[in-house]
């Protein structure tokens, strides 16, 4: 095999250089192992008849929307459903195939199905930025504590520069989804570092975050956040979180930095840890819209008005939603 020798460096084969260049510059694609669903304890069951995923686990456009959501990937099919379109309307957004709208619709639908969006329910949102969810939830009768990173924290510099950090609770009702007096009574705003959740945040009926825990600094820190925020829930409470999911690999990923990408194995590891602690994780459905995969695909530095997946470095990523029910375990577990 031909090699290239450079003074002071070990010889490198042309094939190895070619493979490296291909990974760096070729368009990322979905790898079968990245979305394999081969653990019956963690994934929705296949239909024995046709080896397809049962329709009962997904909301279909124009079809019966009574089936409940499970932990799943961002889906155009879900986003185009009557239920998700209705949440889009209630949030004051114009419909488009944008995964942020899917994330918000997924959180709303999952919480609504589980009876969380009603009068007297207490919700805790992490890294809310200026998202409209606190305002909507308050308008539905919930009492909300919305949290975000302190704008003075150096880690929030990029979010502040792009006007994505909330500076005051008034910025959480910019769309006027809740009347001002009701919003004032039902929504409280606090500065919270997701890596250091205060002990007094507990007894909530539900928690949520929208593509936030991939910004905790590493794969492990994000996993730790999801595990520790379960302490904020009362027994039977529901946590709904979305994050980045790696469609291209179950081995390589971005594991450390400002934005990390969770692989299937990382999500499975987190789910098993939650289950071992006595919680219930809704089964995963990694079905994706293969025929619409490149529809609106975008690079992170130039995200257009509509996209379902994003290219982060050499990887193709999309959003994944996780639904966890708190088991009958001690209110607070040991913090690290």
Q: Quick check: is 37 in a domain? A: yes
Q: What is the DSSP code string of 215-227?
A: GSSBHHHHHHHHH
**114 is a domain residue:** yes
The reported pLDDT for the residue numbered 330 is 58
- Give which of 136, 139, 130 is closest to 164, Cα–Cα: 130
In a domain, 336, yes or no: no
Torsion sign, CA atoms 6, 12, 14, 19: negative
Domain of 209 in residue numbering reads as 28-127+194-325
307 band by pLDDT with thresholds 50, 70 and 90: confident
For residue 298, tell me if it sits in a domain. Answer: yes
Predicted TM-score (pTM) of the model is 0.83
Q: Which residue has the higher pLDDT, 8 or 271?
A: 271
pLDDT tens column, 33-69: 999 998 999 999 755 433 443 333 333 333 333 479 9
Q: How confident is the model over 64-101, as pLDDT tens digits?
A: 334 799 999 999 999 999 999 999 999 999 999 999 99
Q: Assess if residue 3 is contained within a domain.
A: no
Tens-digit pLDDT profile for residues 181-227: 999 999 999 999 999 999 999 999 999 999 999 999 999 999 999 99
Contact 162, 168 (CB under 8 A): no
In a domain, 117, yes or no: yes
Cα-Cα-Cα-Cα torsion 298, 151, 134, 289, nearest 10 degrees, comes to 20
Question: Quick check: helix, strand or coil at residue 103?
Answer: helix
- Structural domains of the chain, count: 1
Question: Is residue 2 domain-resident?
Answer: no
Question: What pLDDT does 336 receive?
Answer: 35
Residue 45 maps to a domain:
yes
Looking up tokens 């004051």 gives: 92
Express each pLDDT in 107-161 by its tens digit: 999 999 999 999 999 999 999 999 999 999 999 999 999 999 876 565 554 544 4
Dihedral of CA atoms 313, 314, 317, 322 in degrees, nearest 10, equals -90
């Amino acid at each position: 095999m031909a090699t290239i020798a450079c003074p002071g460096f070990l010889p490198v084969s042309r094939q190895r250089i070619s493979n490296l260049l291909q990974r760096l510059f070729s368009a990322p694609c979905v790898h079968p192992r990245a979305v394999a669903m081969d653990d019956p304890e963690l994934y929705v069951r296949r239909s024995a008849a046709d080896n397809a995923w049962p329709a009962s686990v997904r909301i279909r456009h124009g079809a019966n929307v009574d089936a409940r959501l499970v932990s799943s990937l961002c889906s155009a099919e879900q986003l185009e459903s009557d239920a998700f379109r209705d949440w889009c309307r209630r949030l004051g957004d114009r419909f488009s195939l944008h995964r942020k709208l899917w994330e918000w619709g997924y959180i709303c639908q999952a919480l609504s199905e589980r009876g969380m969006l009603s009068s007297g329910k207490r919700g805790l949102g992490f890294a809310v930025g200026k998202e409209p969810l606190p305002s909507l939830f308050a308008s539905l009768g919930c009492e909300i504590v919305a949290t975000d990173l302190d704008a003075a924290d150096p880690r929030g510099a990029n979010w502040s520069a792009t006007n994505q950090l909330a500076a005051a609770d008034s910025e959480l009702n910019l769309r006027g989804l809740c009347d001002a007096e009701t919003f004032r009574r039902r929504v409280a705003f606090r500065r919270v570092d997701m890596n250091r959740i205060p002990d007094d945040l507990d007894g909530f009926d539900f928690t949520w975050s929208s593509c936030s825990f991939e910004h905790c600094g590493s794969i492990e820190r994000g996993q730790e956040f999801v595990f520790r925020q379960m302490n904020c829930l009362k027994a039977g409470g529901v946590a709904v979180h979305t994050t980045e999911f790696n469609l291209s690999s179950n081995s390589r990923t971005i594991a450390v930095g400002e934005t990390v990408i969770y692989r299937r194995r990382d999500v499975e590891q987190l789910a098993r840890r939650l289950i071992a602690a006595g919680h219930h994780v809704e089964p995963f459905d990694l079905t994706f819209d293969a025929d619409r995969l490149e529809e609106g695909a975008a690079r992170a530095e130039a995200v257009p008005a509509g996209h379902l997946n994003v290219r982060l470095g050499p990887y193709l990523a999309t959003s994944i939603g996780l639904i966890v029910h708190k088991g009958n375990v001690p209110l607070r577990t040991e913090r690290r």
